[in-house]
Amino acid sequence: MTYSNLQIFIVELVGTFILVIFATGSIAYDVKMFDGKLGITFAAVAPFIALLIGVYSFGKISLAHFNPAVTIGYYITGHISKTQIVYYFAAEIIGALLGSLSVLAFIGDFADLGANAPNPDHSVFLIFPVEVLASAMLMGVIFYVVYTKGLKGFSGVAIGGIVGLDILFLATISGASMNPARSLAPALLSETLENLWLYWTAPFVGTTMVAFLFRKKFQEQRLSES
């Protein structure tokens, strides 16, 4: 079944909204209610749950991007058109902003609304490659499940799982955003913009590199199916 750009826009907006609520709201809620004692594990599990919901609910309609860097990866591999990038980007950014506004309204202005931040104890020459690596691993898992089985079976677990693991092991270095929209919304609303350059460059580098590695595989797959 072919879905319209409007349908794609709506589910991407809702999916990104859910992801940002869970990913950033968990951080703000932890600080507000527990003084941050739940820590990195709670921050890793929350987006895992959000992606389970998003992938299984909306994967058939929009491929469940919820992330501008992932959208660019899907464009490189030919899954979406140049025109559709506009719909995806708009939905992802609006959904993220609505998510952060909801966190602000219902939880409050805690922990900069869950904005990403790299560890200042590390050099940018470590932070940047780590963020590239986190984004590349996310894109690699997404393409692997799409190429092998499509967005069904354990795909949601795999995609949510790699995001959770990236956060668990890499957030203490780079912040492990992997998602420019997720980083943009809380940073704008909390006026903590100094790290946005990182999260609007490194994730695109990571997903783009992986997309070019997978592009030929998907081209061959489409030819074999035609």
Q: What is the pLDDT of residues 169-183, one digit of tens each?
A: 999 999 999 999 999
> Any idea of the CA torsion for 193, 85, 141, 116, to the nearest 10 degrees?
10
- Mind listing the pLDDT tens digit for each residue in 1-38? 789 999 999 999 999 999 999 999 999 999 999 999 99
The answer to whether 160 and 52 are in contact (CB under 8 A) is yes
CA distance 147 to 128: 28
State both tokens at 208. Answer: 């783009």
Domain range spanning residue 175? 5-225
Give the CATH number for residue 34. 1.20.1080.10
pLDDT > 90: percent of the chain: 91
Q: Give the pTM.
A: 0.96
Quick one: pLDDT band at residue 187, thresholds 50, 70, 90?
very high
CA quadruple 43, 188, 128, 208: dihedral sign: positive
Closest CA to 119 of 178, 195, 43: 195
Domain count, the chain: 1
Kind plus residue range of the DSSP H or E element containing 20: helix 5-34
